[in-house]
Structure 1
Amino acid sequence: MLFDLQLEFEKLTISLNSKSDKFLFNQISNKFGLVEDLRISPSWHPGFSPVFTSWPQKIIIMNSAWFTLESLLACPCTRIKLGCSPLGDKDVDEILQKWKAGGFPYLEYLFVEGESISNRWNRWMVIQTDDVSKKATIHTDYKRIEISVTPFD
């Protein structure tokens, strides 16, 4: 009902635990553009793969086992934090290649934590976009990668 009023929300936290919550998510997902900071808590109904028809500015998904690489590649958020992610090294390579080629134009920060991420990169490194308009500081640690993006001065 509040979304029908076209109000903007600074922060919205969703905890979906049952099948009926799937209906609620689908009903409000087209309004996430009105939300600055969306947080989805760890509980999730097994077998439910939400589809975002609009995106908030920032998103935190504490248990992102259902959040695929395709979802991330389509995500226009400025800040993205994914916990318990199924993404692995090959996915991280694809994310970095897309970013270097000009993808993720709004991205300022990305944090992905998951069992399938190794520590094969340098602990700290800096990369830049192909057009040299932005640089990203990448920090890897045990089972996580963190990317902070800044424009070149």
Structure 2
Amino acid sequence: MSTLPILKKFFQMPIALLKFPTDLLGDIFKLCDPFQLYCLSKCSKRTQRSIQLGGTKKWKLSFRGRNAIVASLDGLHYNFGGTEDPDEYFETQKNWRFDNYMTIPFGEPFDVFFGFLGIFRIVEELDVAFGSFEQFSKAIRELIDRHIEIERIWIGCTPKVEKVDKLMPILNQLNITQKFSCLKKFPSEFRHQFDKYPNRILLHHSFWFNISQLLECTCDRIDLRESILSNQDMDMFFQKWKRPGSFPNLRWLHIAGENIDDKSSILEIIPPILNVNNPRVEVADRLYKHDNIVDPVRITKADGTEGWLKVELGSWPELKFLVLNPIAPNT
């Protein structure tokens, strides 16, 4: 039975909600959807603090620096959009684009975002695309001060944010857990060192990500485009990978760059590196089906873990490496 009718009736009752015990409030708030939580938080600062103390489900925010914020959980999405018409405040509707949509007073988008952080404690995605350097700097520092977990950071190829390269050291201080994506082309003098790695990185124009960083990378998926890494670099990487205990998290590596060539060997093989036997072989990750390789060569770690490697040349050389059966180290 849906809890929504019960909640609607409950919130219409003239009761002293905030006098309830904290654990009971938590149970009530866990039945609320993001629209109900948002409306409750606007009742008073005390109500907002009670929501924080009582606890809610793990709703996650997505923010793209414009008049749009999304709260989501388990495939459900609640979309908040700005309106300047007071008559439309807090209206909910379904339209051709969104199943759940509420219009709210927005004002400065970043201030509204900070208000939502008083209700929801996880940011699913922060899109560095619209807004100013100063606004994003403030937002990032706010997230750091509040110890907010960030699952994904996305920097597009043409973000309308000046000095994005200057944001990178500040982004380093965030707790980014799932993925860091950067499609932006930085100035040639740009340099950056990750202090810690999320599970996945996707970097276009990755000239600044050198072999030293790759050798220390703890990601399970690494995708480097327009890379400067060479055959010698990749041979060094695979020599380390073959040692027991090295790169225990790694499942997928993709390198695309013109420094992969046929001038020197990788693991004593001059590229291209592929399996020419019949029948054709295809290996793919069970969770990420797009991480697949056709006709790779098998390489094996000292502990028995198997990896599959393919290196193609041509107009845009690329290296693909997939680990299918990681073996847990002895403890």
Q: What TM-score do the two structures reach when normalised by structure 2?
A: 0.42
Match of 1:44 among 186, 189, 192: 186
* Residue of 311, 316, 322 corresponding to 1:140: 311
Partner of 1:11: 152
Change (3 A) 1:149 1:65: same
Q: Cα distance 1:34–1:152, how it changes in 2: closer, same or farther (>3 A)? A: closer
The CA deviation at 1:152 is: 5.8
**Does 1:130 pair with 2:302?**
yes
In 1, Cα distance between equivalents of 2:176 and 2:254? 23
Alpha-carbon deviations, 1:30-70, whole Å to 9, x = none?
A: 32x43301101132122110111121110000111111000
1:140 Cα deviation from its structure 2 partner = 1.6
Structure 1 42/89 Cα, relative in aligned 2: closer, same or farther at 3 Å? same
1:32-71 map, 5 Å: 33-71=175-213
Report the CA distance between 1:15 and its aligned residue.
Answer: 4.9
Partner of 2:248: 105
SS at the partner of 1:91? helix
CA contact (8 A) 2:273 2:312 kept: no
How far the C-alpha of 1:113 sits from its partner, in A, is: 0.5
- Greater relative contact order structure (CA < 8 Å, 6+ sep): 1
Structure 1 segments unaligned to the other structure (5+ residues): none
2 CA distance for matches of 1:70 and 1:52?
11
- Using the aligned pairs only, state the percent identity: 25
- The structure that has the greater radius of gyration is 2
Letter in 2 for 1:12: I
Aligned to 2:57: none
Give the drift of 1:121.
Answer: 4.3
TM-score, normalising length: structure 1: 0.87
* CA distance in structure 2 between the partners assigned to 1:81 and 1:104 by the alignment: 15
Structure 2 SS opposite 1:56: coil
Structure 1: distance between partners of 2:326 and 2:167: 42
Which region of structure 1 is more displaced relative to structure 2, 46-55 or 119-128? 119-128
Residue 72 of structure 2 corresponds to: none
The answer to whether the Cα contact below 8 Å between 1:101 and 1:130 also exists between their aligned partners in 2 is yes
Could you tell me whether the CA contact under 8 Å between 2:153 and 2:176 is conserved in 1? no
Contact kept, 8 Å, 1:12 with 1:35, in 2: the verdict is no
Cα deviation for residue 27 of structure 1 reads: 1.4
Q: CA deviation at 1:26?
A: 0.7
Give me the whole-angstrom Cα distance separating, in 1, the residues matched to 2:178 and 2:172. Answer: 13
Question: Hey, which bits of structure 1, 4+ residues long, moved more than 6 A?
Answer: 16-19
Q: Calculate the aligned-residue CA RMSD, in Å.
A: 2.2
Question: In 2, Cα distance between the equivalents of 1:101 and 1:45?
Answer: 36
